[in-house]
Structure 1
Amino acid sequence: MEQQNSYRALVRIPGLTPLIVAATLSRLAGRMFILTLVLFVLAQFSSPALAGWLTFAAIVPGLLVSPVAGVLLDRVGPTIAVRIDMIASAIFIAAIGIVGWLDWTTPPVLFFVVTLFSLAGPLGAAGTRTLLPRLVPSHDLDRANALDTAVYAVVDVVGPAMAGVIVAWLGPESAMSMIAFSYATAAICLSFVPRLPGLAPRQASFLHQMIEGIQIMSRQPTLRGLAISYSMYQITWGVLYVAVPVFVANHYDTAVGSSVTGFLWAAMGIAGGIGALSAGRLRTAGRERHVMAIGMVVTALAAWPVAAEFGLGGLAIGLMLAGVMSGPIDVALLTLRQRRTDTRQLGRVISISMSLNLAGFPLGSALAGMVITSSLSTTFVLAGIASVVAAIATVSIPSDARAVA
């Protein structure tokens, strides 16, 4: 029994190992790409404004078309959809490197290619998490989600660091080529993943199924509740991403402060990975809401008063504590969403919900930018309040008996 409940047992599930490898490579490439794009634009045009708009173009269009991506996942099957994303991403990013080497780079060309890259993104992001519950038995779903979440945490730490080193040594064009190669390798790994068919009926129109996906998210109490609660929780992280560098800048000069901030986020990412892997050994079935709510309350306390009122040491402890809690929260979220969603609708639900969940982060950053000029401590209080509200919203999600609208 112990061996069956271990992470080693996951390796024996057909197709899971190549899926995790492909997801790791593609996510690493994605995290590297955002920073490399900024450095590429600065090297070519010396324009921070253009870099900001291109970063916007690399993210937002994909969020807007998430309902379309969800229908594709359910109609053609997640395996094919994810491969389409990875092959397309490899082609588009390689094109950026090529036009850079040939001195054909212009802002319109970059906007066009980067937008195409963004439009394909939801297929890969949601596709991996659509594949997991179809490949993995229900009793192993917690650990599979934990492993998936830990990959995200590690990539968040390693990706930007690798991008910075490669750009410094070889230049942004070479970095783009390596990112494209990583996407291509991920696509090859997916050839070893079982080709799962789409489960959505082909008789219904594409538009009808897209509207149906939006209606499912808005009407199903569990999915609606998770979208609200996790978006509120992400407000906390949006606030912290603004507040932490300001806090550190009040204690150190710019050069040292940047290094300290980077170290704090790296430590937080590692703590998140450890928390996720630990959460994977828990049996959360039927307790997902409580795991999420407890983690959110602890996160609120970590933001204020721990991080805000006890100096730099308190900030470090608070971020580590919030990082550890992020693992169980994410694992419980994924597991609850997968268990309460019809498999035939899983692609649409995950694609739309992931976009909704991300909405809280920029909102938190915007709020922090307005509040922080008046009071840094109040900004941390805002982060704590957001997580408390998220916890209340989480426990308000109905139990299994009332989960279906």
Structure 2
Amino acid sequence: MASLSTLTRALSHRNSKIFFGASLTSWTGLWMQRIAVSWLAWELTGSALWVGALAFCDLAPAVIVSPIAGAVADRSDRLRMTMQSQAAIGLLAAATAALVATEMMTIGILLVLSVLGGIAASFAQPARQSFMPGLVPAADLPAAVALNSLTFNVARFIGPAIAGPIIALAGVWPVIALNALAYLFATVTTPMLVIDATERRGHAATASLWGEVLDGVRYAARHPGLGPILWFSAVSAVLLRGVQEILPPYVERAFGRGAESLAVLTAAFGVGALVAGLAVAARGRLAGTTRLSILGVGALAVSTAGFAATNWFPFGVFCAALMGAAGSVHGIGVQMLAQSASEPAMRGRVLSLWGLITRACPALGALLLGAGAELFGLRWPTLLAVLLSLLVVAWGLARLDRIAAVLEGPPPDHTNR
């Protein structure tokens, strides 16, 4: 493994310090709010199905919005789009906090606000990701992509660690209000970034936004490397990621614990993801990343089985850390491959499809898992999903060499930047 100095070098640039500082702040607030609203939904309803519905409402808008947002990101000022979407997320968080503090919140209102937040997040994701090559020199781009994921997972550890005690002492609304402040900080610091004009906009706008959306979907679907790896990620996310979206029922039913233990489990996911992410980033090369991405899903399946099968909380925390590590290996790997293999003019649309996968597919998985839990309990639907995911891993390994040859080969022509 290469030295972690590659990460330090990528973080040494002025743009990187501003970008990742704002990212850490906003994502810490995001994870705090996720803990708070998930626990709030459980308190309001006592139903795993409603908790799954909340996750679905937050993440599912990506199905419709993400492809459109990717096309907009490729034809608009990505910096301005990032700032506007972050401001919208902050305002929605402020409204949510106010409704909870005044005891006017209902599960219906919470679901509507989650849908609106999911729409804003679907616009933020491709815009932020697409101008990342403008943050650092080309040689530091793989490290910057890894840092982006690592920052998310550091926040995944810090956010719950802060949120749990606050919820226990003061309730959920102060936690959500802190997320509003975090996104305010991210919004006001975004204009400080200095990004070359060629990276702020992918191409000149054409007459048809919808045509550009379809072009992006066709490009990814027909690509011999991107198409298979994105489909692999989508199916595995539906099967395995739902567990992480409906943790409150596991905490109370399987382990007999409360909000503080929910924070511990969420932080364990973040710690595992951070450690594994550092290891992947320190490799310093693209070769072998496809294999890691596929095997990461296999490891996620095994650790998810352990999590679902136990009632002993310490072992559940251990499995959660392994789940976070495996998911991080897969996620960072696919992002590196997508950034490297995509044509620059298509990057926003390809990354928007990745955003769709990471948001909509876990949402569908959470909804299905929540419905299954109401009928059969939490354990057996989860173990069935694990079994199906292992079949998906076998499919991926059978096609590994062909996919890797395309994704890990020479990058596409960048002369049209």
Band of TM-score, shorter chain: 0.7 to 0.9
The question of whether the paired residues in 2 share the 8 Å contact of 1:98 and 1:173 is answered with yes
2:220 matches 1:220: no
Matched, 1:329 2:323: no
Q: Offset at 1:83?
A: 0.6
2:8 is matched with 8
C-alpha distance 263-51 of structure 1, shift in aligned 2 (>3 A): closer
Matched residue, 2:155 = 155
| Counterpart residue type for residue 347 of structure 1 | G
Separation in 1, partners of 2:103, 2:183: 24
User: Distance in 2 between the 1:363 and 1:102 partners?
Assistant: 32
Counterparts in 2 of 1:55 and 1:308: CA distance versus 1, 3 Å = closer
Distance in 2, matches of 1:402 and 1:37, equals 44
Question: How big is the shift at 1:223?
Answer: 1.9
Distance 1:10 1:210, change over 3 A: same
Alignment of 1:4-403 (within 5 A): 5-39=5-39, 53-101=53-101, 113-195=113-195, 196=197, 197-235=200-238, 237-238=240-241, 241=244, 254-255=256-257, 263=264, 266-300=267-301, 302=303, 319-362=320-363, 364=365, 366=368, 369=373, 380-397=386-403, 399-400=405-406
1:374 positional shift: 5.5
CA contact (8 A) 1:372 1:379 kept: no
| Cα distance, 1:143 vs structure 2 | 1.8
- The residue identity in structure 2 corresponding to 1:277 is L
> Structure 1 residues 296-305 or 140-149, which shifts more?
296-305
For normalisation by structure 1, the TM-score amounts to 0.80
Q: Which whole-Å deviations, capped at 9, do the CAs of 1:286-328 have from their partners, x for residues lacking one?
A: 432133234344445556689969x988766655445434333
Give the Cα separation in 2 of the matches to 1:181 and 1:12.
26
Q: How many residues align?
A: 400
Deviations, residues 355-387 of structure 1 (Å, cap 9, x unaligned): 134454355553675696669866654454444
Secondary structure, counterpart of 1:254 in structure 2: coil
Query: SS at 1:397's partner residue?
Result: helix
Q: CA deviation at 1:210?
A: 1.8
Gaps of 5+ in 2: 413-417
Q: Which amino acid aligns with 1:284?
A: R
Secondary structure in 2 matching 1:202: coil
In 2: Cα distance, 1:372 partner to 1:386 partner = 22
In structure 1, distance between residues paired with 2:46 and 2:261: 26
Q: Distance in 2 between matches of 1:107 and 1:297?
A: 36
Output the CA distance in 1 between the equivalents of 2:389 and 2:86: 35
Judge conservation of contact 2:265–2:320 (CA < 8 Å) in 1: yes
Distance 1:305 1:389, change over 3 A: farther
Measure how far apart 1:122 and its partner are.
Answer: 1.3
AA paired with 2:205?
R
C-alpha contact (below 8 Å) 1:130/1:347 kept by paired residues:
yes
1:201-237 Cα distance to aligned partner (Å, 9 max, x none): 2233222212222222222222211211212332453
Q: Is the 8 A contact 1:166 1:175 kept in 2?
A: yes
Q: Assess if the C-alpha contact under 8 Å between 1:71 and 1:206 holds in 2.
A: yes
| Separation in structure 2 between the aligned mates of residue 84 and residue 217 of structure 1, nearest angstrom | 27
CA contact (8 A) 1:36 1:176 kept: yes
Partner residue, 2:415: none
- Stretches of structure 1 that go unaligned for 5 or more consecutive residues are none
Q: Which amino acid aligns with 2:139?
A: H
CA distance in 2: counterparts of 1:103 and 1:353, whole angstroms: 37
DSSP-derived class of the 2:403 partner: coil
Cα distance change of structure 1 residues 371 and 393 upon mapping to structure 2, 3 Å threshold: farther
Q: TM-score, normalised by structure 2?
A: 0.78
**Alpha-carbon distance between aligned partners in 1 of 2:383 and 2:295, rounded to the nearest angstrom:** 23
Query: 2: distance between equivalents of 1:313 and 1:396?
Result: 41
Q: Equivalent residue of 1:200, what SS?
A: coil
Distance in 2 separating the partners of 1:313 and 1:374: 21
Change (3 A) 1:109 1:342: same
* Pair 115,204 (structure 1): closer, same or farther in 2 beyond 3 Å: same
**What letter matches 2:33 in structure 1?**
F
After superposition, the CA RMSD in angstroms is 4.1
Which deviates more from structure 2 when the two are superposed, residues 241-250 or residues 16-25? Answer: 241-250
Instruction: Verify the 8 A CA contact 2:309 2:379 in the aligned structure 1.
Output: no
Change (3 A) 1:171 1:78: same
- Quote the offset at 1:243 in angstroms: 11
Greater mean alpha carbon deviation, residues 265-274 or residues 11-20: 265-274
1-structure distance, mates of 2:202, 2:135: 14
Give the 3 Å change call, closer, same or farther, for CA 112–264 of structure 1 in structure 2.
closer
Percent identity over the alignment is 18
Name whichever of 121-130 and 227-236 sits farther off: 227-236
Structure 2: distance between partners of 1:35 and 1:182: 15
Distance (Å, rounded) in 1 between the aligned partners of 2:359 and 2:282: 27
> Is the alpha carbon distance of 1:243 and 1:66 closer, same or farther for their aligned partners in structure 2, counting shifts above 3 Å?
closer
Give the whole-Å Cα distance in 2 for the aligned partners of 1:244 and 1:91: 26
